[in-house]
Structures are given as C-alpha cells and as structure tokens.
Amino acid sequence: MGNHVEENISEHGIYHPGEMIIGAIISVNGLRRHRGNLILRNESEESSTVCAYQEKYQTALTVLFAIDQINNNENLLPNITLGFHLLDSYMNEPITLEAYLKILSGWEFLVPNYKCRSEGHLLAMVGFPSSVLSQLVAKTFAMYGYPQISYGATDPLLRNKLMFPYSYHTVGSSVHLEKALNSVLKHFGWTWVGIIHSDVESNENAIQKLKYSITRGGGCIEFSEKFLSSLNYKDSEPERILKVISNSTATVIIFWADLEFVYNLYRLLENLTRTKRVWLLITDMDHLLMPTIDELDLSPFHGALEIQMRKKEIPGLMSFLWNITLGQYTECYFILYYKAIIYDCESLNGSVLIKTCKHNKTRKMRLLGSMTLVSSYPVYNAIYALAHALQMFMDSKYWKELHREKGALSHLLPWKTPPRSVCTDSCPVGFRKTTLEGKPTCCFDCVPCPIGEVTNHTDTISCWKCPDDQWPNEKKEKCIPKQVNYLSYQELLGTTLASSAVVLSVTALLTLIIFTHYQKSAVVKATNRNLSFLLLSSLTFTFCSCLAFIGYPGHKTCLLRQTVFGLCFTVSVSSVLAKTVLVVVAFRVTKPGSQLKRFIGQKLPFFIVGVCSSTQALICALWLGTCPPTLFFDLHSQPGQIVIECEEHIGFYIMLAYIGCLAMGCFFIAFPARNLPDRYNEAKFITFSMLVFFSVWITFIPTFLSTKGKYTVAVEVFAILVSAAGVLVCLFFPKCFIIFCTPGKSKMAARKWSRPSTKCANLWQF
C-alpha cells in the first residue's frame, strides 16, 4: 500500500519535553526509509520500500507508557519531569547513527558537538535491539559518555567494561542462550543437527561457540548455513537454503537470528513440505501470537521449540496502547506508518489516504494483541533502571553538595550517572575490580576472580594466584591443597579391579594345580601339558601384574609396571601361538612324505615361546633405555585436582602392537584348523579366545585415548583382566569340565586320544 505525501513530514521523531530527557532509538520499521512517496509492503524489494512490523510498535510505545507512569509516581523522581525523544532506527546502521546525533543535538538537523535543545537535559540512551547496532553506537559515541542501555544485544563482548564502559543491557548474554540450547539437546538426546543463522557478526560468534559445545558433547552438525540479511538479500537465497534443508537428514534444525530474518525464513518455508523435523528457534517469535499473522503458513513450524528471554506482563500497558492516539505530537514518519497500519484508513488505487485515517479502538485492540511481547519487557525495565539510578544519584552526597540550587541539573554530567551511583569502595570476597592499565578504574564493576585465583578479607581490590599445588575454596577466600587424583585401593573402582585381579590369579593358580595333579590323564596330555603349565603360570603373573597399576604411583612403579605386564602377557600369547602351530603340524605330519616330522618334539613350542618372548624383552629394554616411562603431575587439566599419571611414550604402543601381532598370528593359524577332527579341536577354543582378545583391545584404544587420570589406568587394567581371562576360560575350563563333571567322557576321551598310537598320540604327550 502507498501514500503520496505532498506536505513536509518531520523526520525529528516523537518528542516530549521534560527536565531530564531519555533518548530512545527503537527498531520498528524496515531497513530503509522512503525519501519520496511512501510504499508499505510485506517484504523489502525496492530501495523505496519500508518493511512495517506491526508488533514492534508495542515496543516503541512502551517507552511512552513507562515514562508516563514514572511522571505520575509520587515516590519516584517526585520533583523531576522526564521527557523523551524517540526515533526509529529502521534496523539500519547509518540511520541509527543519524538518529543518535539528532538526539544529542536536540534538533532535526545534525549539529555534531552542539546542543541545540533549549530545554531539558539528556540523561541516557535506550534502544539498540541488536548487538551490531549496540557496538556501533558504543564505539562511535563513547567520547560523550552517555549511558546506553540495550534491550536486545546479547553479544558477550559488550559486557567488557574496559571496551564499552557506558554499555548496559536488560537482557542476558548469548552465553546463557547457548547453555540453554545445549541443555535442551542433551535432555532429548538430539545429536544430529543442522544450523541456520544470520550473517550478523555477533550471531556468527555465538554459533562458533555453539558448534564447539555441541561437538564436545558428542553431537554432530550436518550443515551450518548463513542466511543473508535484507541488505545483502539475494533472490536465490531461499532456494539455496531450501535445497540444503530438503537434502539433509538432520532431526533438529536450529535457527538463530533476529526478527528481521524471520520474515525471510517464512519465504523460505513457503515451499518446504512438512517434514518430521524439530525447529529450535533462538529468536523473538512473539509476533506469531498476533491476530494478523494468520495469513502465514506455519505448518512447517509444527512442534517447534522457542528459546527466548524471560518476560512478564506489564500491568496497564495494553490499556494504554489501545487508547493512545499520538495526536498530541508533531506528525512524523513514525506516526505516519503507525496510522497506516493501526488506524482505520481509506485507500485509493492501493495508496493509503493518511488524512482519512481515524482512530478505531476495536481495530487497534485486534492488531496490537492482548499481551506483552518479549521485546517490550526489557525496554520497560531499561526506562525504570534509569529512573532509579537518577533517584540514587539525587540521594547521594554529590547531589546534596549542589544544594539543589537553580540549574543544578545542568551540572549533571552524563558519565556520572548511572555508573557513579553504583560505585563502591570494595568488591565482595572472590571478586576484583575492573582495571585499566593495571590500576583500578574510578568507576568499576566487580568481576569474579579468574579460575585458580582468590581474594582475601584484607584486599578485595585484586586477585591472588594460588600455588600450582593448591586451589581456591568454594568462597574463593583462601587456597587449599588440591585433591590428588590416582586409582586408589580405598575407592570402589580400585577395590573392584584389585579384587578381580586376585580372584583371577587364584583361579589360574588352582587350574595349574589341577593340571599338575591330573598330568597323566589323557585330557591333560592331549593339551600339551608342559606348554599348558607355562601358559597357566604366565597368566597367573599377568593377573598379579595388574596390582602394580593400583595405588599411589612412584617412579619405580611407572618404570616397571608396563614392562612386567608386557613380558608376562607376551609369554602367554606366545604359548597360545605355540599350541596353535602344534595343532597344524600334528595334522600335517600324518600325511605320507611329510617333512614336518623333524619339527616334532618339545623343542618347537619352547623355541617359539623363547623367540617371541626374547623379542618383546628386547623391545622393552630399548624402551627403558631410550625413552623410559616417567612420573608426571598434571596440575591444570582438571580444576582442583592434581592428576598423577605415568607417561609411557611411544614404547608402550610398540609393545602392545607386538602383542597384537602375535595374537593375530594365533588367530590366522587357528581359524583354518578349527574344523580338524575332534582329537585336534583345541583350535576352536584358541580361535574363540583370540576373538575375545581382539574385541577387548580394539575397544581399549579409543577409550584409553579419551580418558584422563585414574580412569585411563582403570581402562587398561580392565582390558588386561578381560583379555587374559578370555584365554584362561576358553582354553582350560572345557578341560576342567571333562575332568570333574564327565569322568565317563574322560575315559572315552582317553581311549580316543590314545587310539592312533603309531601316528599321532606321541605327538601330543610331551
């Protein structure tokens, strides 16, 4: 719709006089003003187009409501009349700077560094709904020292008082939004997500932190697409984003942007079919509650979740909005757009005839809704924060020294309120003053001491760093010794692992005693009794070596525990390898003309064990001689704890890799031999034991690398116990079952094992 404006329309905004003036720059309409004919559309297509956001008029008019309430309050600023100067920023950076200069000079024409207003004293600025506009104004006009209160900036950088000493906010930082979003994702177990965000720098910084926290928590990001603002908008933009969404498999899509981008998102979703996705919206979506929003198709948002700042209803606001006419103010573009949207106006050829607009309370109530919007509540708080700060200043000694003389308000310098009124002489324990070039500033904020630092009762100006072996207590008032972190016998985890090691070592020892007692039985003879004795002995020592990993580690413990385990376990795996080779040799030797008879005897298995174990001993010797394990005290990886760990370096992984190669040899030799006749069926048990071995140690590698402190040690001990127990159970428990539970089968087995006495029996009875 449009309107041909022949008379001159003021660009001065809405002004109301008072002793103290509050400047308000609110983003109400679209990105660009029309310098000639007024054209109002639903979207920005031309340079002469203004996007009119009906719901944002509530936010702007809340400034008028709050000031009207304060002026009628006998207990707050009883002798001061507040005025205001309200301008629209059009969500545009140059226009925002222009509006700020107009408020400073008090005139429609820009007169930098001059005050043209004949009455009233500028108190502070309220507005700046985005972090970009807040930073722009804070950097450009810091020289004037006027407090600037934003109702929508969430960039954590703006909380830095050294960079932005006059910047204040009535909304939280985006850090809190990020934490809330991560809590939602973790609560519902959503790990496969996509992200769409605006091209605003502050939002991009928040998105980078969000990506890091999502991936750190175990989530994955399928795509992250930047949505261009209206100033940079391209016709191909919706199609590009739509293609990404349609081709994705993400169950959750995060949309992080300001309100101006939401309308572009609606255009995007017009062609998006309804899918089973959850939308997490980090933006102000209160406009969806407005009555005139019904024309939009919101079906793609079905099941969406919105994370927004907390709000409360403002008593009396809606009644004020339904009755105000703005007729007492000089007509300006703000009022012109307001009438065209809210009032009952006639139109001709698509153009609104402003002179025909009439105030229609029923229409206004329908269009403005019946509840406080999210953006209105922080604006309301900003006005009242300024009023209370001014009241505190008037109650201060500085104000009383002026004796309330005529013109005392003219002595009120902008940088003295509200910061001056909240200055204190010291900070609470655990906090320190903000400093400039190493010295406390005149007016400061109290900030928490950094991690690892404290304050005490005698000095609350600065923080003190605790020694490396100490940590602040909960109140940050003194340093206390850090808790030592290692796998201890006194804790449940250490006790459980130690008990398991003892039980398994006793089990292996009892099995050795049983095999020794029944060594003349056919079952024991058939399992290569001397080799079995060696295997059971090495398994017993392997289980016992786990006890060296538990308890307070010392230099000698770090030096020897891995090598002792490595040598013992190498003997065990070498013995299994020797058993495997004998199975194949014993089967092959029965074939006519076989040349393998010369390898039959006790020399072959012990030669295999000797060579394999000697090679591992050489690896360990080189490891200890060149880059031995060292005791390391990690003072910083875990707050409040000293993590004691042994750094094994590359030698540890070489030792494990060698054991893995031996186990792989066992598996590849035993697997083809698993289908040999029953008299040679020990290959089946060897194959299964090696499968257990690989399952444990393949799982061990990523777990070992991703844990810290005592849990790293616990993971290795668990892997040793389970893999060694797999060998013990798979190879010896079936034989014990035959000996004790099926004596009949034992005798049958004896006859069966002794039947081929001329060919095979002597091969096994060593």
Longest dimension (CA), the chain: 129
Q: What is the pLDDT of residues 493-503, one digit of tens each?
A: 999 999 999 99
Q: What is the pLDDT of residues 303-328, one digit of tens each?
A: 778 777 777 788 899 889 888 888 88
pLDDT > 90: percent of the chain: 15
Q: How far apart are the first and last CA of the chain?
A: 104
DSSP string, 23-57: EEEE--B-S---SSSEEEESS--STTEEEB-TTHH
pTM score of the predicted model: 0.53
Position 443 confidence tier, pLDDT thresholds 50, 70, 90? very low
The count of other CB atoms within 10 Å of the CB of residue 728 is: 21
CA distance 596 to 688: 27
CA distance 167 to 298: 37
* Strands 435-436, 439-440: pairing kind: antiparallel
CA distance 25 to 19: 19
Closest by Cα among 266, 201, 203, 273 to 237 = 266
Inform me whether the pLDDT recorded for 165 exceeds 70: yes
Domain range summary for the chain, segments of one domain joined by +: 2-172+313-393, 174-306, 492-764
Same CATH fold assignment for domains 2-172+313-393 and 174-306: yes
Position 600 confidence tier, pLDDT thresholds 50, 70, 90? low
Closest by Cα among 504, 495, 532 to 517 = 532
pLDDT of residue 300: 64
CA distance 149 to 167: 6
462 — phi, psi (to 5°)?
-130, 175
Position 270 confidence tier, pLDDT thresholds 50, 70, 90? low
Inform me whether the pLDDT recorded for 174 exceeds 70: yes
* Strands 192-198, 252-256: pairing kind: parallel
Q: What is the pLDDT of residues 361-404, one digit of tens each?
A: 888 887 777 788 777 888 898 898 888 888 877 776 666 665 55
- State the average pLDDT over residues 292-311: 67
- Does residue 644 or residue 408 have the better pLDDT? 644
pLDDT of residue 398: 63
CA distance 378 to 388: 15
pLDDT of residue 602: 63
pLDDT of residue 583: 76
pLDDT of residue 538: 94
Range scoring the smallest mean pLDDT among 420-434, 583-597, 745-759: 745-759
CA distance 213 to 175: 11
HEC assignment per residue over 583-631:
HHHHHHCCCCCCCHHHHCCCHHHHHHHHHHHHHHHHHHHHHHHHCCCEE
The topology (CATH level 3) of 2-172+313-393 is Rossmann fold (3.40.50)
Q: 110-133 burial, b if ≥16 CB within 10 A, otherwise e?
A: eeeeeeebeebbbbbbbbbbbbbb
Position 720 confidence tier, pLDDT thresholds 50, 70, 90? very high
Looking up tokens 């009439």 gives 358
pLDDT of residue 617: 94
pLDDT of residue 7: 45
Range scoring the smallest mean pLDDT among 194-208, 589-603, 685-699: 589-603
Range scoring the smallest mean pLDDT among 502-511, 532-541, 731-740: 731-740
CA distance 220 to 211: 9
Q: What is the pLDDT of residues 89-131, one digit of tens each?
A: 887 778 888 888 888 887 666 667 767 766 778 888 898 877 7
pLDDT > 70: percent of the chain: 72
Give whichever of 271-280, 501-510, 524-533 has the largest mean pLDDT: 501-510
Look up residue 724 and give its two tokens: 């060694």
The topology (CATH level 3) of 492-764 is Rhopdopsin 7-helix transmembrane proteins (1.20.1070)
Could you list the beta-strand ranges (E) of 524-575.
none
Inform me whether the pLDDT recorded for 754 exceeds 80: no
Q: What is the pLDDT of residues 230-252, one digit of tens each?
A: 555 566 676 777 888 888 888 88
pLDDT of residue 546: 92
Domain 174-306, CATH among 3.90.480.20, 3.30.230.10, 3.40.50.2300, 3.30.1300.10: 3.40.50.2300
Position 260 confidence tier, pLDDT thresholds 50, 70, 90? low
Look up residue 567 and give its two tokens: 């040598």
Mean of all residue pLDDT scores within the chain: 76
Angle CA 763–759–533, to nearest 5? 15
